[in-house]
Chains A and B, each alone.
Chain A
Amino acid sequence: MSTASTTRLTLPLTALFAVCFVAPLCVLVALSLAAGPDGGVATIGHYAAFVGDRFNASILFDTLWLGVKATLVCLLFGFPVAWICARAHVRWQSVLIFLVVLPILTSVVVRTFSWIVILGRHGLLNQIVLGLGLADEPLRLLYSEAGVIIVLAQVQMPLMVLPILTVLSRIDSNLFDASQALGAGQWRTLWRVAVPLSMPGIIAGCILTYAASITAFVTQTLIGGARLIYMPLFIYQQAVGANNWPFAAAISVIFMVAVLVVVAVLNGFGRRFEKHV
């Protein structure tokens, strides 16, 4: 197929992208530069107000840091799950993959509410803890950062497992046999062969999980409550609660740029690693 016809084929997608993504983004940036809700002279005042206030900066930092923690927990549990799926017998593999994908098939709101039942004061987890005598009074899991991380890790887990699983299942299993034949133990084979070869999947999984975790408005607000303020709730409060659309637009742009920087760093890390391997 010639380049010209390939270009023509991409036109519908390009148009859709321009209308549904680029245009709203331009509107967002324009709104963030408006002096007041009704427009006015362009100003960078909203950006300056955000950057100049340590409280706002700490919300941004906490949000980005929350993403790092949730992603690490996801990776810690997601890699073994992907590993088991990839190494399982074909018959079991489809069952395991179905189980991994299962959470995506239900609404995130439903999943989050079910976690409220599990983490609540009289929830399942606290009943187990109290029943085993591990604590004298119910643990405070809801409305805490630990609770938010636990739920985010579970809710976003498929986004971590699936890319790693795809890469792991493409690795020639003879490489593992060769490693062990040459004297490496199972852990060394995992660390020196499986992990480096699955790095593209790990990076992709981390990017997806990270982006989904820091923007997870529903989970952050329902499990974290109003005392743990992260960027999505902050933007919502400014836009809908305070009716301050230009400021909400400005902090949305700042948030987006911050996320893009983190994703770019992860991507760069992935590329360097590929060259190294």
Chain B
Amino acid sequence: MNSRNAFSRRDFLMAGSALGLGALLPGLARAAGEELVAATFPGTWNEAHRNILKPAFMKGIDASVVQSIILGTDQISRLEAAKGGTPPFDVAIFDSPQVLDAVKQGLIMEYPVAKSPHYGELLPAFQDKWGPKISMQVIGIAYNPERVKTPPTRWEDLWDPRYKGRVGLTALNSQLGIAFLAELNRIKGGTDADFGPAFKALRELLPSVGAIAANLGAYATLWQQEQVDIAPYNFNFVQTLKGKGVPVEFVVPETGPVGWQTSMHVVAGSRVPELATRYIDTHLDAAVQAAMMKPPYDVIPTNGKVALQGAMTQTIARTQADLEKIRGLDWAALNPQRSALIDRFNREIRA
């Protein structure tokens, strides 16, 4: 054997080490320049953040941003797992229920209001010392106008025998699922301590239910495949589907809109808290929020300087003042019950 050409064990180890070093290099390169890692939600949010927020944030600064698509509950899990070390991302995006968990577990820091020039422009209801509210999510009834000729007006319409086998629901691992159950419970006379009325109504609805999606991604598919014709849904997701040509409309039931807020936070232990604050502040900028309010994003603004426009003014709120009146849910009472509610829901719905 020609020893010069042979691939010795030492060569192999050196090549292996070089490969290993190569894998580590992106990390080393990152340490040299400033890079912000920001969490974003899938779907509409990810698109709005990539197309509007990122370019606005990058204007005039020498830093880069990586937008990582992670659900709120997954963000909590990952931050908890990384507690004590460097967090996997610097900016968190949460819906109301996760904020309570994050504060309780020390995963986010107080928002440096003084360093955020646009914070003061937010409506008072959307200011929060743990991080500003960047939008609202509102739920109502979505329906396929080609098959549901009379638009529904109340939640009870879901029980209409005409829609037998055509009603859709989503599991309780999403805010939509919990919020619908809580609103149903309120309408049927239940309290946060007693979900009996909601589950009784749910049992009566089950024969009409065509499908219960395990997650929101699958829920959107139900509409695209016209597997369901009427179901509780988020305003924003309906707008996104409409933008893609799916026959779906959104109405707020006569009992009024119900929703929760979406907020952004600087993660505790972030290596670049100033950049994180700047990124969040960019989201509060009236120009950015006005751009996100346009279709296909239809993100509800929280900056008082942005006049409401488009589909949201026909269904959810005509003015900023109406936004503050949207009924919220008592997440402090709901969060501790989440596990028990999921368990009970599973038992009730199991085929």
Contact = CB atoms under 8 A, between A and B. Distances in A.
A155 to B, nearest CB: 16
Nearest to B349: A227
Contacts of A195: none
Contacts of B74: 240
Contact of B73 (A117, A222, A240): A240
B171 A243 contact: no
Contact of B214 (A113, A221, A238, A243): A221
Interface stretch (B218-226, B249-257, B303-311, B324-332): B218-226
Given A222-B214, A226-B349, A229-B350, A241 B225 contact: no
A233 B338 contact: no
Interface string B308-351: 00000000000000000000000000000011001100110111
Interface residues of B, number: 31
Given A226-B171, A243-B101, A237 B221 contact: no
A225 B214 contact: yes
Contacts of A233: 214
Interface stretch (A63-71, A120-128, A156-164, A263-271): A120-128
A242 B211 contact: no
Most buried by B among A116, A123, A234: A116
B225 A229 contact: no
B351 A113 contact: no
B215 A117 contact: no
Interface string B160-172: 0000000001111
B94 to A, nearest CB: 14
B266 to A, nearest CB: 22
A242 B349 contact: no
Contacts of B210: 143
A243 B351 contact: no
Contact of A228 (B218, B342, B347, B351): B351
B149 to A, nearest CB: 19
Interface residues of A, number: 30
A227 B212 contact: yes
Interface string B178-220: 0000000000000000000000000000000011111100100
A258 B101 CA distance: 34
B268 interface: no
Contacts of A236: 173
Nearest to A224: B214
Interface in B34-82: 71, 73-74, 76-77
A120 B339 CA distance: 32
Interface in A227-263: 227-229, 233-234, 236-244
A98 interface: no
Given A143-B211, A225-B211, A241 B221 contact: no
B226 A122 contact: yes
Nearest to A38: B105
B116 interface: no
B339 A227 contact: no
B113 to A, nearest CB: 29
A239 B221 CA distance: 24
A224 B212 CA distance: 9
Contacts of A227: 211-212, 349-351
B227 interface: yes
A85 interface: no
Contact of A237 (B171, B212, B213): B171
B338 A237 contact: no
A241 B73 contact: yes
A238 B347 CA distance: 14
B154 to A, nearest CB: 25
Nearest to B212: A226
A145 B351 CA distance: 10
B221 A242 contact: no
A243 B338 contact: yes
Contact of A222 (B71, B221, B226, B350): B221
A253 to B, nearest CB: 19
A222 B218 contact: yes
Interface string A95-127: 000000000000000000100110011110000
Contact of A116 (B172, B214, B221, B350): B221
B55 to A, nearest CB: 29
Contacts of A21: none
Contacts of A239: 77
Given A142-B225, A226-B171, A240-B77, A55 B214 contact: no
Nearest to B215: A221
A240 B225 CA distance: 27
B195 to A, nearest CB: 15
Contact of A117 (B225, B347, B349): B225
Contacts of B171: 226, 237, 241
Task: Give the most central of A55, A142, A225, A233: most B CB within 10 Å.
Answer: A225
B211 A237 contact: no
A240 B80 CA distance: 12
Contacts of A121: 225-227
Given A55-B347, A143-B211, A222-B221, A241 B101 contact: no
B224 to A, nearest CB: 9
24 contacts: A55-B350, A117-B225, A120-B227, A121-B225, A121-B227, A142-B211, A143-B210, A145-B351, A221-B218, A222-B218, A225-B212, A225-B213, A226-B214, A227-B211, A227-B212, A227-B351, A228-B351, A229-B350, A237-B173, A237-B342, A238-B339, A241-B73, A241-B338, A243-B101
Interface of B: 71, 73-74, 76-77, 101, 169-173, 210-215, 218, 221, 225-227, 338-339, 342-343, 346-347, 349-351
Which 4 pairs between the two chains have the least Cβ-Cβ distance?
A: A241-B173, A242-B339, A120-B225, A226-B171
